[in-house]
Structure 1
């Protein structure tokens, strides 16, 4: 299992409050059988930015402490990047980076909005060779009311990452319902804990895989077959055909 979304590095954002908490979060993941966990702190343009140098300094400290505790889990670099019109420019300047240094960028939208420039930003990033992953789309208020917003992005090659907490109902009934529908309709490509601490938002992931397997075996198998491609910076397989009330749409990975 790979946890593509966590806030396990302390002292950067609203995630782990101390190195001890970071290590406890790593321990929770390892005990669940997670092989890789991506350390993805928030990056908000012009408000909450971190340099690659400073990030790697903090990541290396956590990796070293993890090894001293004899943890086997591999901690990978990454960011949760807040949507902004300047993301293509920042990517070109190497001020933002992908999962494990790959072309796969984890990007989040404002919870209550779907910015008009969203598709343009993703398109420009893909022209630069990046592959956007939309973080927890099931929690976005606009998307909850209009699933076509996600369908259109998937058709353009954007991957979707769902939170464990969403599938468990931690964010409310509507988010849970939306996440389950996305799973059933083949609209999920990777999973993440979005872990922030060791109490209310733990780095639990195993149950999310179990839920996906129960509700849609095809999506579960797609995730297992493709998740390592992402951390190894290679192209994923073709997306699964979307399940819709009307005639389905076959989606192909044009960036393969």
Structure 2
């Protein structure tokens, strides 16, 4: 089964991801060794530090794919962006200035902690009105959402999907963030897992270990659903909604949480 990584910073020299082509190639090699076959490049845009326009992304994706094919590395890179939600987001979306995930209807959206819930829900609604389906990037790293799963529940009910990071599942971002991810899983609020890889050292690509962790938490069916959802997002297909995990997961999660 092909493995899709829908959130990565593999494009060289555009944001805080790969520094150059050599590092991008090394990241692709690591991803291939982990079983990843497709990576969506999602450089930051609308960010105060990085505001990567769509055309350079398309050009660099094409260039990187040529290099990977020449080196026989079995990873295909697809275009996308990680869009920082703000005053320009809806205007840019309506004008076609934003890249969705692999050319689908799905838009990777990073919510700033300063954005209140009402404004976020209004933005989600307006994006859907212009035929975009928002995928909230790493809600476990959002200060409000990490401590209030019901707030994420309301955003999902308003039409959003949620993508969590592999590193968060594995505890690499701290115990509090790991607990937040588990709470989201218990409530059925996680629709996809991605690496959010930035480099080969501190934030390397990799999903297999995160899926193994999910298998311990929710079983093989959950893993198959989330893996397939990543593929569905890239191919512009409807995702499969995840049911709340129920008492068994709560018991197992509490047991596992005592080990971290």
Give the alignment's TM-score, normalised by structure 2: 0.88
Change (3 A) 1:46 1:114: closer
- In the TM superposition, residue 45 of structure 1 has moved relative to its aligned partner by 5.6
Of 141, 144, 159, the residue aligned with 1:142 is: 144
5 Å-filtered alignment, 1:215-226, equals 215-217=217-219, 218-226=221-229
What are the Cα deviations for residues 14-34 of structure 1, in whole angstroms up to 9, with x where unaligned? Answer: 001110000000000000111
Report the Cα distance in structure 2 between the residues aligned to 1:194 and 1:18, rounded to whole angstroms: 17
Report the Cα distance in structure 2 between the residues aligned to 1:87 and 1:242, rounded to whole angstroms: 31
Q: Give the structure with the larger helix fraction.
A: 2
Partner residue of 1:249? none
8 A Cα contact 1:114 1:142, kept in partner: no
In structure 1, runs of 5+ residues without a counterpart are 246-256
* Secondary structure at 1:58 match in 2: helix
- In the TM superposition, residue 179 of structure 1 has moved relative to its aligned partner by 1.0
8 A Cα contact 1:114 1:143, kept in partner: no
Report the Cα distance in structure 1 between the residues aligned to 2:9 and 2:129, rounded to whole angstroms: 29
- In the TM superposition, residue 186 of structure 1 has moved relative to its aligned partner by 1.6
5 Å-filtered alignment, 1:158-197, equals 158-197=160-199
Report the Cα distance in structure 1 between the residues aligned to 2:218 and 2:98, rounded to whole angstroms: 34
5 Å-filtered alignment, 1:88-103, equals 88-103=90-105
Paired positions, count: 243
Change (3 A) 1:225 1:16: closer
Partner residue of 1:74? 76
- In the TM superposition, residue 128 of structure 1 has moved relative to its aligned partner by 1.1
- In the TM superposition, residue 221 of structure 1 has moved relative to its aligned partner by 2.8
8 A Cα contact 2:8 2:39, kept in partner: yes
8 A Cα contact 2:218 2:245, kept in partner: no
- In the TM superposition, residue 242 of structure 1 has moved relative to its aligned partner by 3.3
Partner residue of 1:86? 88
Report the Cα distance in structure 2 between the residues aligned to 1:46 and 1:204, rounded to whole angstroms: 28
Report whether the alignment pairs 1:230 with 2:233.
yes
Change (3 A) 1:90 1:29: same
Over the aligned positions, Cα root-mean-square deviation in angstroms equals: 1.7
5 Å-filtered alignment, 1:1-256, equals 1-44=3-46, 48-110=50-112, 112-116=113-117, 117-217=119-219, 218-237=221-240, 239-242=241-244
8 A Cα contact 2:185 2:244, kept in partner: no
* Secondary structure at 1:220 match in 2: helix
In structure 2, runs of 5+ residues without a counterpart are 248-260
Where in structure 1 do 4 or more consecutive aligned residues deviate above 6 Å?
none
Give the alignment's TM-score, normalised by structure 1: 0.89
Of stretches 25-34 and 78-87 in structure 1, the one that deviates more from structure 2 is 78-87
